[in-house]
Structure 1
Amino acid sequence: MNEHLSGTDTGTGNGIDVVVVGGGYAGVMAANRLTQNPDLNVTVINPRTEFVPRLRLHQLVAGTHEAVVAYRDVLAERVALVVDDVTRIDAARRRVLLGSGGSFGYDYLVYAVGSGAGEPAVPGAAAFAYPVASLEAARRLKEVVEGAPAEAALTVIGGGPSGIETAAELAERGRRVTLSCGGVLGPYLHPAARRTVLRRLTGLGVTVLDGPGSRVTEVTREAVRLADGRELPSTVTVWTAGFGVPDLAARSGLSTDAAGRLRTDETLTCVGDERVVAAGDAAAPSDLPFRMSAYAAGCLGAHAADTVLARVAGRRPEPIDLSFPAMCISLGRRAAVFQLGRKDDTARRLYVPGRAGAKLKELSCEFSVKHLKEEARTPGRHSWPKAGNVRRDALRALRESERVGA
């Protein structure tokens, strides 16, 4: 892995230049897989000098993991790393413009900018609530939590995996935590697994508020107000409700969906530009994006690379075929729920709780990085379970509903 601290390069001029925008799970997987073709010059452009395993960010907040890995450990030796921000993609000239003032040319571009905390519409949330979806945000929140008195009231907003994991991690460290779900606790989970999560959270001392009345209507410096009129004292408020994607594609004039994700076909090729492919959370294939997750990001990154490799070789790229076998939610360091899923990404009744679940969760976190390392050593190795006709049927149903609604 060759590292540049600023974006002064303009492309090699020899061979085929592939630029990967973003150095997360999707971007690193794509870059490593692209090295199968020795004629490709692969460059990752990323604003950070270290890889961030986002599955660990809630642990960073609680002080049980640093949530960083050296890029030299996960990027293939042939991949160049440029530490810089991409401010715009000039698709017509096939160049990316950099925050340092330089630019970088490409023959193909992999758009893998990932996701972050969504912009909260709740009054006061942007000013007084702390997100946890990025390395910088998690580090800031860690400082705030450590600076708060031991008995301070902490409120975590959002009943999805990030909210559950953050609340459990903080409570296990002795903090007084309220989890305000704004709806159902763990909406993806099977009801039986949801009850297990609730028991574990309450056993850790977390006050769990769910149902429509738990929706947050305002955040102040010292309190959280709910839809049912309750006001919760809150010294530190953590915001985990929803994710958003960077607006780079929209700012660059590329086709995006309502959430700002890059619109692609089923091969992950950008609508209107076959030199650009997308992967990870910021991709919207056929206007039916996959669930945001590290697992999906790695698989989509690999498929995006396969699409580029096919185009370079003069072959027709294949459509993406991906199923979600499970969802893992940690409940502190000693317990978790490993929820088994169907090919259509709905929960089965079968799940693994407790310490066994925690071991599976830890393996999932470790494998999310291990797969990148393996792909760096042996590009083309990564594989994933297929959904078969499930996605095809979902797309057909989507198109039918669009036709009826037109």
Structure 2
Amino acid sequence: MRGMGRVRWGRSERSAAARDERAAAGMRRLLLEGFRASTPLEAARVVAAVLADRLGAERTAVLFFTGPGRLQVQLATVGIAPTVEAAIRESLDRLERDPTRSPGWTRNRTATAVEVVPDVTGHPIRPGGVVDLCGGRAYLGVPLLGPDGPVGTVICCVGAPRRWRAEEIEDATRLAMGGAAVIEAARRGEAERRTRSELEYRATHDPLTGLVNRGAFADQLTHALEACDGCGVAVLVVDLDRFKQVNDRLGHAAGDRLLELAAKRLAAAVRPTDVVGRLGGDEFAAAMTAEQAGPVALGTAERIATSLALPFALGPDTAAVEASVGVAVSPDHGRDAETLLANADAAMYHAKRTGRAFSLYRLVAGAPPALRRPAG
């Protein structure tokens, strides 16, 4: 078409366009992979890999703080041998105990500009730490800048003198800004998951003993009953005798300590696959499945009673309590969690009244539910 001339790019324009495309591709990769990272360490590894590729660095390390205002540092590397990485980690451990060991790292904690070193032999301040351990002759120290200041630094090393170009420094700065964003995003995500996990744990566990609480115990018992195929499910309800006297004589702190110790003894007396929970106060419960659930449960009840009858050391004092244990087994004593717990509770009170250590719930043959009675 007349009047339309072909646009011809010179070598410099083509070179600039190619450089811009490489920089854009690096940023796309950084954001795409970095925001997928589930932990700050995974995000930092992405940052290290992208910067290493963009700068052609032989060895790259990302050092970042575990949280705002914290000295503790984590490390992600690319191209660094495991033995060297171990030496760096050891150096960081010493640094956390004594930050004055590394003036360079002290500068990096507050630096907001890239540190450009084409040759360490002529640098006014002889670098140490990561650069020395990596055998770096030239390096860039690029700060990871978050909204509240530096969150870490990226150190890109090569083993020979190198004059870093202005466009490389500019690209490294941009990528480091994106790197700080993905690390911070991963840190926030990790903190949110930790908070959710803690809230879920508090909703299902007793804060004093760490055992599952009544609601969670009933849920797990229900799941066990639903999953049981050709086996029985046994429930044991355990009540501590004379616990009130311990509270009255030694105080609530001693009583709480006794409950903690009793919970540990209970957990040690059952199998690893069994469930132990605190129903409230000084009452606990255990649930177990077995082909011969009755004999297994009675053997467990005897172990629990024997264990809890031993004296408890409560600081300078010693307290002696005993346990009353009630046992109910499905399907004979109930087919749902509520019924089994109620019947095991009735058996426990029968054991307490009769002075027995444990009692198995029994039913009067053919009697309606209103005439059920516990018996030893």
TM-score interval for Structure 1 and Structure 2 normalised by the shorter chain:
under 0.3
TM score, norm. by length of structure 1:
0.21
Of structures 1 and 2, the one scoring higher in RCO (CA 8 A, sep 6+) is 1
Structure with bigger strand share is 1
Structure number with greater Rg is: 2
Structure with bigger helix share is 2
